[in-house]
Amino acid sequence: MGIGEEKLARMRHSMAHVMASGVLTMFPDAKIAIGPAIENGFYYDFDLPRRLKPEDLQVIEGHMTQLIEEDYPFERESISRADALRLFRNQPYKIELIKDLPEGEELSIYRMGSFTDLCRGPHVQSTGKLCPQGFKLISIAGAYWRGSERRPMLQRVYGTAWHDSKALRMHLAYLEEIEKRDHRRLGRELDLFSLHEQVGAGLVHWHPKGARIRVLVEDFWRAEHYRNGYEMVFTPHVGKSWLWETSGHLDFYAESMYPSIQMDRSDYYIKPMNCPFHVMIYNSGKHSYRDLPYRWAELGTVYRYERSGTLHGLLRVRGFTQDDAHLICTPNQMQGEIREVLRFSLYMLRSFGFREIAAYLSTMPEKAVGEPKRWEAAQNSLREAVESEKLEYEVDEGGGAFYGPKIDLKVRDALGRIWQLSTIQFDFNLPDRFDMVFTDSDGVEKRPYMIHRALFGSMERFFGVMIENYGGAFPVWLSPVQAVLIPVALNLGDYAGEVVREMRRKDIRAEADLGNERLNAKIRNHQIQKVPYMLIVGERERENRSVSIRTREGEKSSLSIDEAVEMIQKKISAKE
């Protein structure tokens, strides 16, 4: 943390005290939990006699401004555990925190005006050091005490705080942009997908327009995989316990799996991963070094149990389709395969407009399976590949999974946010557990290398990231509707229909809007739907066999039908 950030964090955490004090003014019986500084702001968790309403935030802000103006010092005091228990006797959450601290430890409290909190600090000197125009309370959310669903649900108030009003205004504008691009909101507005509590949490329904985009992404994905020497496989959605016992998933991954289904005196499990099935395909035959490498890809739908509190739109779900692949190769081929798969990953991410990509290399943890020699070789090949692609990278020493080192690729989106998408992960566990072998040139059976990789991560999550990155304005090649014909009068519907048919013959997704709304209302609707081209036709256009084009960015031009077709086709094939 830089000095600037440290100062901000201190100021934000102090704001949390000021907010808690304001809340206590409003609700003298409030029970207070914890209130840390976070990125861009702070929060505090409360147990309150009633649910907070958005209007309450203004009242609390008013109390906060007053506390800042009255310039109360933050005063530290050391206190014994016994005294702390007495002091906070009406604050059960504080009591629980105090009891968790080691016996005999000296505690510190901070007083600020009439408010006292158990806290390690540090804070600003006095509330007067906080900028009364530099903060705002942003939102109210539910939060379980200590993050546990078995504990009480508290109310968390989030705030943002800055050194001055200008920084605050910039941050609020940024938040507004994030809100506008929220994929859940755009998913509704553009009719792309839905989730239904009645069906089950975290299970995504792709509507026709969202499905259209997914099919385009999948078609592109398949074509590029075949071009890059991959083969497609399909595998079952369930497998018997033998498979998951052999793979080890029932030992170390059971918590994330859906419970078993009994049938024919066997236990079947819905797959949380595709890997063991790909291994079964491998083990169904004998392999010589000459047959390797194998690159087997599958858009494999898996189900995992994620705690309901962590589910979030498309970004965190329970059922999702991984764009999975497994590379199985000899030790000699491993370096080349890693370099190639990294190059391929970057190509795929860049195809969707992600230009800023950074790599994170995670190396051997203390508890690990597999020979150290193999770890070493694998890590070196990952590092070498990242360096040869001239990627910025960080190393998480010892941060790898127990079964192998990996590279994660993270991208920066249009709003500067970082998303982790691709993973390239070695596996020294499954080849041993399933006794995978190949016959080497010396006639000896040896273990192949196995590498898992997903480029987008999952179709669902990638779609969510794409929606937010494009702000719903998908590039022309991915737009569910690429052109909409808008006749200025009812008698021009035939001509509009004719242009639509012509465009569809040329593989352009065109529609005609023959509704009763006025022209301006139609344009506004399609603008909101982010259709790239609105083609407006009147008498003159019909006579000239032309269209008057208005792009979603508001640019206008007039082209003949043929010219318009050609222009849109060019945009589609450029995939920009």
Q: Of 183, 225, 406, 530, which is the active-site residue?
A: 406
Question: Pattern 437-466, binding to Zn ion, x per CB under 5 A?
Answer: ---------------x--------------
Environment class of residue 487 by beta-carbon count within 10 Å: exposed (0-12), middle (13-18) or buried (19+)?
buried
Side chain identity at residue 31, one-letter code: K
> Which of 324, 413, 427, 513 is the catalytic position?
324
Q: Least distance (Å) from Zn ion to the CB of residue 15?
A: 10
Catalytic residue chosen out of the listed positions 155, 322, 379, 425: 322
Partners of residue 404 on adjacent β-strands: 401
Do 93 and 44 touch, CB atoms closer than 8 A? no
Pick between residue 124 and residue 484 the one whose CB is nearest to Zn ion: 124
Catalytic residue among 13, 155, 275, 410: 275
Catalytic residue list contains 322: yes
Any long-range contacts for 388-392 (C-beta under 8 Å, 24+ apart)?
388/339, 389/342, 389/343, 389/346, 391/346, 391/357, 391/358, 391/359, 392/358, 392/359
CB of 430 to Zn ion, least distance (A): 8
To the query of whether residue 329 is one of the catalytic residues in this protein, the response is: no
Q: What is the largest CA-CA distance in the chain?
A: 92
- Other residues' Cβ atoms within 10 Å of the Cβ of residue 375: 19
Q: Does 314 bind Zn ion (CB under 5 A)?
A: no
Query: Which lies closer to Zn ion via its Cβ, residue 74 or residue 268?
Result: 74
Could you give the count of Cα atoms lying within 13 Å of 245 in the half-sphere of its Cβ?
7
Q: Which is nearer to Zn ion, 156 or 509 (CB)?
A: 156
Residue 186, amino acid: L
- Least CB distance to Zn ion at residue 275 (A): 3
- CB-neighbour burial class of residue 89 (10 A; exposed 0-12, middle 13-18, buried 19+): exposed
Give me Rg for the CA atoms of the chain: 29
How near is the Cβ of 2 to Zn ion at its closest, in Å?
21
Q: Does 119 bind Zn ion (CB under 5 A)?
A: yes
Closer to Zn ion by Cβ: residue 158 or 470: 158
Residue 209 vs residues 90, 203, 574: alpha-carbon distances, Å: 55, 18, 21
| 324 is a catalytic site residue | yes
**Least distance to Zn ion, CB of residue 474, Å:** 30
Nearer to Zn ion, 14 or 155 (CB): 14
Give 36-40's long-range contacts (Cβ < 8 A, gap of 24+).
37/8, 37/9, 37/10, 37/12, 37/13, 38/12, 40/160, 40/171
13 annotated active-site: no
Pick the catalytic residue from 94, 212, 326, 550: 326
Beta-carbon neighbour count of residue 62 at 10 Å? 13
Q: Which of 271, 304, 410, 526 is catalytic?
A: 304
Site for Zn ion contains 406 (CB under 5 A): no
d(CA 13, CA 19): 10
d(CA 97, CA 31): 13
Contacts with Zn ion by CB under 5 A: the residue count is 3
Instruction: Provide, rounded to whole angstroms, the least separation between the CB of residue 129 and Zn ion.
Output: 14
Q: Which is nearer to Zn ion, 119 or 157 (CB)?
A: 119
Q: How far is the CB of 273 from Zn ion (least distance, A)?
A: 6
Has 123 been annotated as catalytic?
A: no
Asked if residue 549 lies in contact with residue 457, where contact means CB atoms within 8 angstroms, the answer is no
Closer residue to Zn ion (CB): 374 or 526 = 374
3-class state of residue 526 by DSSP: helix
> Which residues, 141 to 200, sit near Zn ion by CB under 5 A?
none
CB of 325 to Zn ion, least distance (A): 8
Binding mask 259-298 for Zn ion (x = CB under 5 A): ----------------x-----------------------
Helices (H), 471-535: 493-505, 519-528
367 is a catalytic site residue: no
CB 118, min distance to Zn ion, A? 9
Examine the residue annotation and report whether 83 is marked as an active-site residue of this protein: no
Is residue 196 classed exposed, middle or buried when 0-12, 13-18 and 19+ CB atoms within 10 A define those classes? exposed
The two tokens of residue 424 are: 């390239």
Choices 114-122, 162-170, 221-229, 480-488 (CB under 5 A): range interacting with Zn ion: 114-122
Residues that bind Zn ion (CB under 5 A): 119, 275, 452
Instruction: Point out the residues that are catalytic.
Output: 275, 304, 322, 324, 326, 406, 452
